[in-house]
Amino acid sequence: MSDPTPRYQELRIPSLARVEGETALHLRIHDGTVTEARLEIYEPPRFFEAFLRGRAHTEPPDLTSRICGICPVAYQMSACRAIEDACGVVVDGQLAALRRLLYCGEWIESQTLHIHMLHAPDFLGEDDVIGLSRSHPEHVRRGLRLKQTGNAVVELLGGRAIHPVNVRIGGFHRAPTRAELRHLEERLRTALDDAWDTVRWVAGFEFPDAACEADLLALAETGTYAIESGIPTVLPCDATLPPYSFPLRDFTEHVAEEQVSHSTALHSRLDSRRHLTGSLARWAVSGHLLSPLALQAAREAGLGDPPSRAGAGRGEVCRNPYRSILVRAVEVLYAVEEALRIIAEYERPARPCVEVPARAGTGHGATEAPRGLLYHRYAFDDGGRVTDARIVPPTAQNQGAIEEDLRRLVQAGLDRGEGSEAELTRLCERAVRNHDPCISCSAHFLELDIERTH
Amino acid sequence: MSTPTPPQPPARPRLGVFKFASCDGCQLTLLDCEDELLGIAAELEIAHFLEASSEAAPGPYDLVLVEGSVSTPEHVERIRRIRADARHLVTIGACATAGGVQALRNYADVEGYLATVYARPDYIETLATSTPVSAHVPVDFELRGCPIDRGQLVEVITAFLAGRKPAIPNHSVCFACKRRGNVCVTVAHGTPCLGPVTHAGCGALCPTYGRGCYGCFGPAGTTNLPALVPLMQRDGMSEEDIGRFLHTFNVTAFTAVEEQGQPGVTDVEGPG
Ligand code: SF4
Ligand code: SF4
């Protein structure tokens, strides 16, 4: 480049597009070295944990669903699990299956939304899905069809796709009949083909080299790909450290959120290290539990075979955030298959829910939101009123890893000579969207302009 | 692209979508209009819609949809600028129309809230209230719901394109419930239900699924809230329960009904 790069440079991208919620990015570059990359989340403070205090034990599922319009089911499911845990109730059998089905619906629509509307435009040089619908109409039509099928599953079970009304602690207000569920089968069979085609489509994208250096954290279940339950399991970035799990009740001891004055957001740390949750982590921790069909799709897509047991044995861990779109596409295929399986085995339960009598105590719940692990904890008094609530969403956990990712990518870009603002902006926006951050979920992010600290 | 520029089509009205304090759900409803989305994009130029596009063109906009409530000092400034750039401004959802679930803070001690959520509350900038857009600037139409209904959103956009007032009925959820042929959950099962006082729009979803309405569309145009209270008490709700029931997703709107017998939000007829 002929222009000498200024010794000191600051870049602000005032608003990132095609992410949920609002966020800005602040980069400091000194002498060609990136000294800081910071996501400034300016989603205004929202006080859900405070609003929950004094509410009845039946209320958190509806209330917390309003934290995020993109993954309301995840909030409802984590809340239900935490409350049921506190009340000593286990929901199993067909009611548990229905919950997994509902969650599959959200996975299908949310992952498809991200793949087609938010992420794919980056790989194909378009600004948005509208541009994409001109250059790749059949792929957009397929994406809309898939998303609609995901919505149809959530709508049938939940009443509507955003903030479903039919979920309650103990199960549902009304359980669908077999015949009602059968209506979905035909659409889901079409969706199976659409999901395969989506995997093939995204497999053809060009993936820049990158590797996210962070521990991977996801829930693990026995015998099945974890979605609506599981034990937190870690695959450390340092290959010399073995994978490990810990009980959910110890979650906040392992994943600690700190508010620090030089940072713009609450930062989470997993055992004092950076960590990442979401598709890449799920693939690493439970990939071997995917269905044969999903595994075949993953292999065709170039993901290889997942590790046979978190990190142990042979198999490939994917650390390239650009390739998260491949794992998402495979997960959509899996969710469609799971939905079909659950419907085929469905028997309408005698009652739509089990009783969850209030009692004093503390309960923990975690599920795999499309974007990663979502943890809830509630404490109740004798009357079943919430005395304390704690919510740790995936984006809060991923922020440190995303920032580190940005720092390395921008550094690599600068080393290649891509120093213009436009180039760096594009690079960063892509890097952030790789992680599908859900800023709306940041129930308690804060804004802090570092300039004020000088 | 290198293709020669085709003859310019007539300018399409420009759409801007803006977000304040919210969950993104109401904006997402626009992306959930899968069948209509490409049609809408053909009729309107999507000039500003950050959730969907990196293209963020400056105003003026012919139609602006606002999601979310006004809850920071910066919001107060921003909504004024957006209004100045908007020919027609429509609020979408309970947050933008009534302050939404965030308005729970209006009746609480925000300093205490900050201390509950943040270790260092002094780093946070927020207002003590979460207010509807109409508290700050004139609004042409308010679309209710948490979230809004897809069909009603399409109607609002269609009406805008046709230059007429949206045909959004002002009656209560009970009408829709009857039309759907539901058994009344209050009459049949003694389940408390806000359907009689809640604005229609959802198609009576909750009673259809066997639960009582919890008021996510806010108060209907004419409501008789005092007449409903004894019914809820009969069904076992304490005064405190009723208070929480009414004070969740449309706190300020139901409070206005309690205090003045009028919904805190009204449909404003647009210029068409
Ligand atoms: S009104 Fe409800 S759905 Fe809409 S943005 Fe607000 S919280 Fe979300
Ligand atoms: S019945 Fe009431 S609470 Fe349920 S979706 Fe409709 S307006 Fe909302």
Residue-wise DSSP of B52-65? TBS-B--S-EEEEE
- Arithmetic mean of pLDDT, A70-78: 96
CB contact under 8 A, B24 and A130: no
Tell me, what's the pLDDT at A450?
A: 24
Per mean pLDDT, which range of A91-100, A299-308, A335-344, A368-377 is the poorest? Answer: A299-308
Restricting to B residues 134-153, those with a Cβ less than 8 Å away from any Cβ of A are 146-147
Nearest CA of chain B to the CA of A187: how many Å?
A: 15
Judged by a CB distance cut-off of 8 A, whether residue B216 touches chain A is: yes
- Smallest Cα distance from B140 to chain A, Å: 25
pLDDT band at residue B1, thresholds of 50, 70 and 90?
very low
Instruction: With beta carbons under 8 A apart, name residues in chain B contacting A389.
Output: none
| A199, two tokens | 């995997």
The CB density around residue B169, as the number of other CB atoms within 10 Å, is 13
Q: How confident is the model at residue A16 (pLDDT cuts 50, 70, 90)?
A: low
Above 90 in pLDDT, residue B64? yes
Of the candidates A63, A72, A151, which has its C-beta nearest B32's C-beta? A151
Contact A395, A39 (CB under 8 A): no
Q: How far, in Å, are B18, B31, B88, B140, B143 from residue B156 at the CA level?
A: 16, 15, 11, 11, 8
Quote the pLDDT of residue A240: 86
pLDDT score of B266: 45
Give residue A74's pLDDT band: very low, low, confident or very high (50, 70, 90): very high
For chain A, state the CA radius of gyration: 22
Query: Cα–Cα distance between A263 and A228 in angstroms, integer?
Result: 32
Closest residue of chain B to A387, computed from CA coordinates:
B116
The residues near B63 (Cβ < 8 Å, ≥ 6 apart) are: B13, B14, B15, B16, B44, B86, B87, B88, B90, B157, B160
Q: Which residues contact A191 (CB under 8 A, 6 or more apart)?
A: A108, A145, A146, A149, A150, A336
Q: Is the pLDDT of residue A443 over 90?
A: no
Query: B102-116, B127-141, B160-174: lowest mean pLDDT where?
Result: B102-116
CA distance B117 to chain A (A): 7
Report the C-alpha gap between B132 and B91 in whole angstroms. Answer: 9
Decide if pLDDT at B261 tops 80: no
- Beta-carbon contacts of residue A223 (< 8 Å; ≥ 6 apart): A289
Residues of A in contact with B104 (CB under 8 A): 47, 51
A268 DSSP β-pair partners: A257
CB of A45 closer than 8 Å to CB of A446: yes
The confidence band for B56, taking pLDDT boundaries of 50, 70 and 90, is confident
Structure tokens at A210: 């990158």
Comparing A8-17, B93-102, B207-216, the range with the smallest average pLDDT is A8-17
**In contact, A220 and A286? CB cutoff 8 Å:** yes
Is residue B109 a contact partner of residue B115, using CB atoms and an 8 Å limit?
no
**Chain A residues inside the 8 Å CB shell of B71:** 44, 46
Whether residue B103 contacts residue B131, with contact meaning beta carbons closer than 8 Å, is answered with yes
Buried residues in A412-423 as b, exposed as e (16+ CB within 10 A): ebbeeeebeeee
Q: How far is CA B171 from the centre of its chain?
A: 16
d(CA B200, CA B149): 10
Cα A245 to middle of ligand 1, angstroms: 36
- Ligand 2 pocket, residue B193 CB under 6 Å: no
pLDDT at B213 exceeding the cut of 90: yes
- Given this model, what pLDDT does residue B124 score? 52
- pLDDT one-digit tens code per residue, A201-210: 999 999 988 8
Chain A within 8 Å of B24 (Cβ-Cβ)? yes
For range A134-161, the mean pLDDT: 94
Confidence of residue A128 (pLDDT cuts 50, 70, 90): confident
B24 and A68 in contact by Cβ < 8 A?
Answer: yes
What is the average pLDDT score of chain A?
Answer: 86
pLDDT at A242 over 80: yes
Peptide bond preceding B58 in cis form (omega within 30 of 0)? no
**How many angstroms is it from A108 CA to the middle of ligand 2?**
25
CB B196 within 8 A of CB B213: no
Provide CB contacts within 8 A for A345, sequence distance 6+.
A97
Contact between chains at B28 and A162 (C-beta distance less than 8 A): yes
Residues of chain A in contact with residue B214, where contact means CB-CB under 8 angstroms, are 62, 165
pLDDT at A1: 39
pLDDT greater at residue A390 or residue A444: A390
What pLDDT does B58 receive? 86
Place B133 in a pLDDT band, splitting at 50, 70 and 90: very high
Integer Cα distance of A284 and B20 in angstroms? 37
Q: Which of A110-119, A436-445, B50-59 has the lowest average pLDDT?
A: A436-445
pLDDT for residue A151 is more than 70? yes
The two beta strands, A167-168 and A171-172, are antiparallel
Pairing between β-strand A231-235 and β-strand A23-30 as defined by DSSP bridges:
unpaired
> Could you report the per-residue pLDDT of A382-425, keeping only the tens digit for each?
999 999 999 888 888 888 888 888 888 888 888 888 777 777 77
Residue A264 reports pLDDT greater than 50: no
How much is the average pLDDT of B237-266?
76
Distance from CA of A193 to the nearest CA of B (A): 19
Measure B93 CA to ligand 1 centroid, in angstroms: 6
pLDDT in tens, B160-206: 999 999 999 889 999 999 999 999 999 889 999 999 999 999 999 99
In terms of phi and psi (left: phi > 0; alpha: psi -120 to 50; beta: otherwise), the region of B89 is beta
Express each pLDDT in A339-373 by its tens digit.
999 999 999 999 999 999 999 999 999 999 999 99
For residues B130 and B70, is the Cβ–Cβ distance under 8 A?
yes
Residue scoring higher pLDDT (B54 or A216): A216
Q: Which residues contact A382 (CB under 8 A, 6 or more apart)?
A: A359, A360
Whether A66 and B100 lie within 8 Å, measured CB to CB: yes
Give distance in angstroms: CA of A401 to centre of ligand 1: 29
Cβ proximity of B11 and A95 under 8 Å: no
Residue of B26, B66, B152, B252 to mutate, ligand 1, most atoms within 8 A of C-beta: B26
Query: Cα(A413)–Cα(A141) distance, rounded to whole angstroms?
Result: 34
Judged against a pLDDT cut of 80, whether residue B49 lies above it is answered with yes
Residues 6+ apart with CB under 8 A from A1: A417, A419
Distance B147 CA to ligand 1 centre (A): 5
pLDDT surpasses 50 at B125: yes
Report whether A175 contacts A352 (CB < 8 A).
yes
Indicate if the pLDDT at residue B109 is higher than 80: no
- Partner-chain contact A144 B34, CB within 8 Å: yes
Instruction: Please give the torsion angle defined by the CA atoms of residues A237, A445, A75 and A281, in that order, rounded to the nearest 10 degrees.
Output: -10
| Chain A contact set for B27 (CB, 8 A) | 69
Cα A450 to averaged position of ligand 2 atoms, centre (Å): 43
What proportion of chain A, given as a percentage, has pLDDT over 90? 58
CA distances from B271 to A222, A328, B88, B105 (A): 61, 45, 8, 34
Nearest listed ligand to the Cα of residue B147: 1
Give yes or no for a contact between A111 and A332, defined as CB atoms under 8 angstroms apart: yes
Give the nearest ligand 2 atom to B214 CA: 3
What is the number of the ligand closest to the CA of B100? 1
Instruction: Give B222→chain A minimum CA distance, Å.
Output: 25
Given a cut of 90, whether residue B122 has pLDDT beyond it is no
Give chain B's radius of gyration (CA, Å).
20
Ligand 1 cavity residues, CB under 6 Å? A 66, 69; B 22-23, 25-26, 67-68, 93-95, 100-101, 146-147
Which chain B residue has its CA at the smallest distance from A440's CA?
A: B23
Look up residue A241 and give its DSSP letter: S
Which residue among B171, B185, B193, B206 has the greatest number of ligand 2 atoms within 8 angstroms of its CB, and so is best to mutate? B206
**Chains A–B, number of C-beta pairs less than 8 Å apart:** 175
Average pLDDT, chain B: 84
Q: Do A70 and B25 touch (CB under 8 A)?
A: yes
The mean pLDDT value for A27-37 works out to: 81
A251 Cα distance to chain centroid? 17
Percent of chain B predicted with pLDDT > 90 = 49
**What SS3 class is residue A90?**
coil
> Of B266 and B188, which is predicted with more confidence?
B188
* Over residues A163-181, mean pLDDT: 97
Say if residues A267 and A255 touch (Cβ distance below 8 Å).
no
Question: Hey, is B48 helix, strand or coil?
Answer: strand
**B70 CB under 6 A from ligand 2?**
no
CA distance B118 to A78: 22
Residue A260: per-residue pLDDT: 53
Q: Determine the pLDDT at residue A211.
A: 87
Residues of B with CB below 8 A from A173's CB? Answer: 206, 209-211
The answer on pLDDT for A435 being more than 90 is no
Helix (H, G, I), strand (E, B) or coil at B1: coil
Average pLDDT on A245-249 reads: 96
Q: To which residue do tokens 């994208």 refer? A: A205
Predicted local distance difference test score (pLDDT) of residue A51:
86
Span B1-19, average pLDDT: 74
The enclosing H or E element of B164 equals: none
The pLDDT value given to residue A336: 98
pLDDT at A129 over 90: no
Q: Rounded to the nearest whole angstrom, what is the distance from the C-alpha of residue A367 to the centroid of ligand 2?
A: 26
- The residue written with tokens 């569309």 in the block is B217
B55 CA: distance to closest CA in chain A (Å) = 6
The pLDDT-based confidence of A190 (bands split at 50, 70, 90) is very high
Query: Tell me, what's the pLDDT at B3?
Result: 56
Which residues, other chains included, contact A451 with Cβ-Cβ below 8 Å and sequence gap of 6+?
none
b vs e for B176-210, b when ≥16 Cβ sit within 10 Å of the residue's Cβ? bbeeeebeebbeeeebbbbbbbbbbbbebbbbbbb
Which atom of ligand 1 lies nearest, measured to the CA of B26?
4
Q: What is the pLDDT of residues A248-262, one digit of tens each?
A: 999 999 998 766 544
Is the minimum CB–CB distance between B161 and chain A shorter than 8 Å?
no
* Confidence at residue B29, expressed as pLDDT on a 0 to 100 scale: 92
Q: Which of B14, B18, B19, B24 to mutate to test the interface with A (most CBs of A within 10 A)?
A: B24
Q: Pick the more confident residue, A127 or B84.
A: B84
**Ranges assigned E (strand) in A174-259:** 215-220, 231-235, 244-245, 255-259
Helix (H) or strand (E) holding A275: strand A275-276
Tokens describing residue B237 = 């709700």
Which of A55, A161, A163 lies closest to B32 in CB terms? A161
pLDDT(A9) > 50: yes
Q: For residue A452, what pLDDT is reported?
A: 26
Q: Are A322 and A206 in contact (CB under 8 A)?
A: no
Cβ(A211) to ligand 2 under 6 A?
A: no
CB–CB contact B147 A69 (8 Å)? yes
Average pLDDT over residues B93-112: 81
